[in-house]
A = this chain, B = another copy of it.
Amino acid sequence: VPMPRNLLFIVLDQFRADLLTGPMADCVPLPNLRRFAQQSLSFTNHHTVMVPCGPSRASLLTGQYAMTHRSVHNGTPLPDHIPNIATGLRSVGRELLLFGYTDTQPDPTHLHPNDPARRSYTGPIKGITEVVEMREEGWAWLAHLRGQGYDVPDADASDFDRLYRPKDGVLGGPALYEAKDSDTAYLTDQTIRHLDVRKARPWSAMVTYIRPHPPFVAPSPWHSLVDPKSVPTPAQGSTAHPFFAAYHAAPSSSGMFWGFDGDHSTLTPAQIAIIRATYLGLAAEVDYHIGRLLDWLEAIGQADDTMVVLTADHGEMLGDLGLWGKRTPFRAASHVPLMIRAPGLGAGTVDAPSRSVDLAPTLLDAFGARVPCQMQGQKLTSAGLPADTPVMVEMDLGEMSGGGRFERAWNAGASACRAVAFETGGRRLVHFAGHQPSMLFDIAADPDCAEDLAANDPQTVARLTSELLSFRMRHAGSYF
């Protein structure tokens, strides 16, 4: 296999795998992703190993499970001594340019107690070079918007959230900024401009689109691209497990859309339909700009010798089972796209399981770098991993400093609010570190995880529990 000249590593945020296939996919046009899928090796059973954003990206970039890198919350520091894709590429003389964010809380070991870096969890990971900043604060984009004449708030102003107020103040209405100035457009413009002047030499870039992550507001015409009426209603299922009561015990995701206080029980079916349609519109907007990126690659004549990798950090419940966001153990939260187009790799689909931790070894190997023994995934090829390769998805349902809704609902410390989903052989087990019962799903028959089979099939629960324990023991981390 020839070594690619360039790397273009695209990471979407909160993008479900089923936007590319199935009923959801049917109601949103994503022509560029579909075209790219045709040219790529597509991994149809790909999962993040951790949620939410920061931790999932830590795993994506380090190739480690969260039980090893221990960055389990947005805001838990990631130690500098853990190797990652960027440090690995440096060992072969490559600088990974970042257009966007990695959501990394920096290692505090050598920071002064007052160091401002301690105050933000959205720093760039060690070894990467931030070229265009798109952190949560979004200073660069804000500066751009103001430069274009928009009346936008200051980054730290108390009325910051008006940035995401629809023009008319109505859910589903168009964003205050035009499509040509949206975050997605801005990031794409900047990426193309900066890479274009660097194209004389081999380059490596990571481009991270925040969308279709909330807040759910899209610029015109994307805001009205999808008719809410055409969008399938959320999946329904059993909500008897104590997970659900705890999830709903307090408002969450207050920033989901402008004015929303986080109490999902107040959402009407009409609102839900609008949100789902807006989510699809944002996905379509991302698709459009990815098309621009790929077209530019074609235009400069480097499409054939660039490795392009496209994936997402995690999915989004989008109202399925009554849940929103990604801190859940269900498939909609972990199942994401992965497509790789690279010289000599060929196109096609791989249905065997693959995991976000597999990407770091795959990328480093492709560029001739030694894969550090600390990385816990496996190199992906067109052959796919063995069909019985397990998928393990971790999550800390509690809060970094304790006292969250799960801790309160379960009267437990944060460490007892951890959960792991474990999928192998067509079954998904969910094990809780507290005393909650396990869940079990037949994922072929029930990909939505609507029916919990645990009570009726204790043998399978016991077998998978034992396998999960063994898997975790075998995958204990290595420092050296």
Contact = CB atoms under 8 A, between A and B. Distances in A.
Interface in A187-236: 189-190, 193-194, 196-201
Interface stretch (A245-253, A403-411, A465-473): A465-473
A116 B90 CA distance: 6
A431 interface: yes
Given A116-B94, A144-B193, A479 B198 contact: no
A35 interface: no
A474 B81 contact: no
A140 interface: yes
Which of A193, A415, A416, A418 has the largest count of B CB atoms less than 10 A from its CB? A193
A357 to B, nearest CB: 15
Contacts of A139: 131, 194, 197-198
A77 interface: yes
Interface string A307-347: 00000000000000000000000000000000000000000
A438 B81 CA distance: 36
A288 B147 CA distance: 20
Most chain B beta-carbon neighbours within 10 Å: one of A143, A435, A438: A143
A155 interface: yes
Nearest to A477: B70
Interface stretch (A6-14, A107-115, A266-274): A107-115
Contacts of A470: 431-435
A434 B470 CA distance: 7
Contact of A476 (B157, B199, B418): B418
A189 B147 contact: yes
A154 B200 contact: yes
Contact of A473 (B95, B155, B198, B418): B418
A389 interface: no
A301 interface: no
Interface string A139-155: 11011101100001011
A254 interface: no
A2 interface: no
Question: Which of A72, A108, A433, A476 counts the most B-chain CB atoms under 10 A from its CB?
Answer: A476
B418 A200 contact: no
Interface string A149-170: 0001011110000000000000
A122 to B, nearest CB: 13
Nearest to A140: B194
A474 B433 contact: yes
Contacts of A67: 473, 476
Given A91-B112, A140-B194, A472-B469, A479 B77 contact: yes
A420 interface: yes
A157 B200 contact: yes
A90 B115 contact: yes
A478 B141 CA distance: 35
Given A87-B112, A93-B116, 16 more contacts: A70-B478, A91-B112, A91-B114, A93-B114, A94-B116, A139-B194, A143-B194, A143-B197, A152-B197, A154-B200, A156-B200, A156-B201, A418-B476, A458-B462, A465-B465, A468-B469
6 closest residue pairs by CB, A with B: A433-B473, A143-B193, A462-B462, A154-B200, A142-B197, A156-B200
